[in-house]
Structure 1
Amino acid sequence: MKILIAFLVVLISLLQYRLWYGDGSFKQTEKYQLQLDQLQQQLALKQQRNKALEAEVLDLRKGKEAIEETARHDLGLIRQDETFFQVIE
């Protein structure tokens, strides 16, 4: 009987050790949860960026206004009937 009790105590101790310190322990699970939260935040940011890029692509495909706006902003283009004023502060 004493051997059985000693065996059960050792078995429970080993299971408790694995629960607290081994693979799949509470600490490791918490660490994985933090990594998962960080990855979900990064995913949300990238999804917002993708939506913005998708909207820009659709806008560029639809009309010339977006192309004109992009050319004016990026290349500094002006029309023939416009006058360009540069204000230096």
Structure 2
Amino acid sequence: MSAGAEVIADGTIHIHGTLRGRAIAGASGSRDAKILCNDLQAELVSIAGNYWLSDQIEREYWGKKVLFGMTDDQLDFEILTI
């Protein structure tokens, strides 16, 4: 996904490559939505209106396979090793 591009979904978003733009999952308010990407370089990630801009994501996670979700009404993520 190119820089400046935007994907918006009511549910989960899967990017089977590099996420460089903006991914907005759970646009209708679904807190169960997820964002999965194989190479994190995002400008913005958002689930159910909760968002992180690129400068809020620590650089050590850039370029990694990452799964974003919601825990206790807060955006969180985990690095996937598989």
- TM-score if structure 1 supplies the norm length? 0.18
Please state which structure has a larger fraction of its residues in strand: 2
Larger radius of gyration between Structure 1 and Structure 2: 1
Please state which structure has a larger fraction of its residues in helix: 1
Greater RCO, 1 or 2 (C-alpha within 8 Å, sep 6+): 2
- TM-score if structure 2 supplies the norm length? 0.19
